[in-house]
Amino acid sequence: MSAELISGKDIAAKLREDVASDVARLKADHGFTPGLAVVLVGEDPASQIYVRNKGKMTEEAGMNSFTHRLAEDASQAEVEALLTSLNEDEAVDGILLQLPLPKHLDEPAAIAKISPDKDVDGLTEASAGRLSLGKPGIRPCTPAGCVILAKYALGEDLSGKNVVVIGRSILVGKPAALLFLEQNCTVTIAHSRTKDLPEVCRSADILVAAVGRPKFVQSDWVKPGACVIDVGINRIPAPEKGEGKTRVVGDVDFDAAKEVAGQITPVPGSVGPMTIAGLLVNTLECAKLRRGI
Ligand code: NAP
């Protein structure tokens, strides 16, 4: 039996529509336009595509989009100076530092420069602290998208569900685990040292894969009927499309897993669009909070 596909694309489109209406209302009632600044350091091709898409969708939602590109060999001081100037820029409500940074840069130190008021990716110590303490605040976009997708598939009340998150990065795995905990789920975080990962995964009602390895999660790791959320974005060779061509696959062996799962997110087209929609939601939220609206 084939699983139901969870179309993050459609859910994200609806979220972006809601943001656009809210932005139009803010412009009419309060006379300002929220702005999102994206900082891209270096030439990583995937990051360039993400940044272009984020800029386009920001503008489509009626917000101002500011893209700042720094050279691959930019110094830590240059990156931090740019972030500091964006913190002080009244036109900027949200700052997104596109990760990963080139290897010579200190990523945590750069993130720490972002003002928590403008931290639309929820990555600063203040945002992460609020999440882990269960206090309201800006939540990281990709993990927040995972929770929305799970609710769409299974209903609003996720309490008591067994969730296994594979991955413990600060960007995805760890915040995803905390967000599902906030929903009263029973959460297991698996990682590269986890013993008998397939068995751990088979305990999941909701299986979140955030590993960064193409087709890593096998169909016999999936409990029949489980909800599978695939965060992975991996580029693999696609000779069928022509020489040197590539295609994007997730961290789950989709074709096999969809025969076992109850619901599953396709890659591309589910978690990715939710991440961008979440970014717009968070920018709007930061804009309102900063102005006391
Ligand atoms: P990351 O920082 O590289 O973290 C990967 C995690 O996977 C680590 O915690 C690692 O465990 C774990 N892992 C690696 N090999 C493993 C194994 N053999 N068994 C079990 N766990 C293993 O990656 P990330 O930033 O979290 O991203 C994960 C994936 O999501 C990537 O494909 C990325 O491109 C994608 N992503 C997608 C979006 C989106 O919008 N859709 C957004 C962000 C990221 P250890 O900690 O033990 O090393």
**Average pLDDT of the chain?**
97
Pocket test for ligand 1, best of 101, 231, 279 (most atoms within 8 A of CB): 231
Which pLDDT score, from 0 to 100, does residue 116 have? 97
Percent of the chain with pLDDT over 90: 99
For the beta sheet containing 186-190, the strands, ordered from the edge strand earlier in sequence to the opposite edge, are 4-5, 263-264, 227-230, 206-209, 162-166, 186-190
Contact in structure between 33 and 23 (CB atoms under 8 Å) = yes
State whether the beta carbon of 231 lies less than 6 angstroms from ligand 1. yes
What residue ranges do the domains of the chain occupy? 31-115, 141-272
Q: What is the pLDDT of residues 212-248, one digit of tens each?
A: 999 999 999 999 999 999 999 999 999 999 999 999 9
Identify the CATH number of the domain defined by range 141-272.
3.40.50.720
pLDDT of 284 strictly over 80: yes
Kindly give the distance from the C-alpha atom of residue 215 to the centroid of ligand 1, in angstroms, as a whole number.
13
Q: Under DSSP, is residue 30 helix (H, G, I), strand (E, B) or coil?
A: helix
Whether 31-115 and 141-272 share one fold: the answer is yes
pLDDT of 181 strictly over 80: yes
- CATH level 3 topology of 31-115: Rossmann fold (3.40.50)
Read out DSSP for 218-266? -GGGSPTT-EEEE---EEEE-GGG-TT-EEEE-SB-HHHHTTT-SEE--
Mean pLDDT for the stretch of residues 182-200: 98
Q: What is the pLDDT of residues 142-172, one digit of tens each?
A: 999 999 999 999 999 999 999 999 999 999 9
Residue 45: band (very low, low, confident or very high) from pLDDT cuts 50, 70, 90: confident
Which pLDDT score, from 0 to 100, does residue 244 have? 92
pLDDT of 60 strictly over 70: yes
Q: What is the pLDDT of residues 103-146, one digit of tens each?
A: 999 999 999 999 999 999 999 999 999 999 999 999 999 999 99
State whether the beta carbon of 188 lies less than 6 angstroms from ligand 1. no
Pocket test for ligand 1, best of 211, 216, 217, 280 (most atoms within 8 A of CB): 211
The pTM for the full model equals 0.97
**Residue 277: what residue type?**
A
pLDDT of 92 strictly over 80: yes
Positions marked active-site: 54, 98, 121
Kindly give the distance from the C-alpha atom of residue 168 to the centroid of ligand 1, in angstroms, as a whole number.
7
The alpha carbon of residue 66 and the mean position of all alpha carbons in its chain are separated, in whole angstroms, by: 20
Residue 81: band (very low, low, confident or very high) from pLDDT cuts 50, 70, 90: very high
Which pLDDT score, from 0 to 100, does residue 46 have? 87
pLDDT of 17 strictly over 70: yes
Residue 1: band (very low, low, confident or very high) from pLDDT cuts 50, 70, 90: low
State whether the beta carbon of 62 lies less than 6 angstroms from ligand 1. no
Kindly give the distance from the C-alpha atom of residue 175 to the centroid of ligand 1, in angstroms, as a whole number.
12
Mean pLDDT for the stretch of residues 15-41: 97
CA distance linking residue 188 with residue 165, whole number of Å: 6
State whether the beta carbon of 169 lies less than 6 angstroms from ligand 1. yes
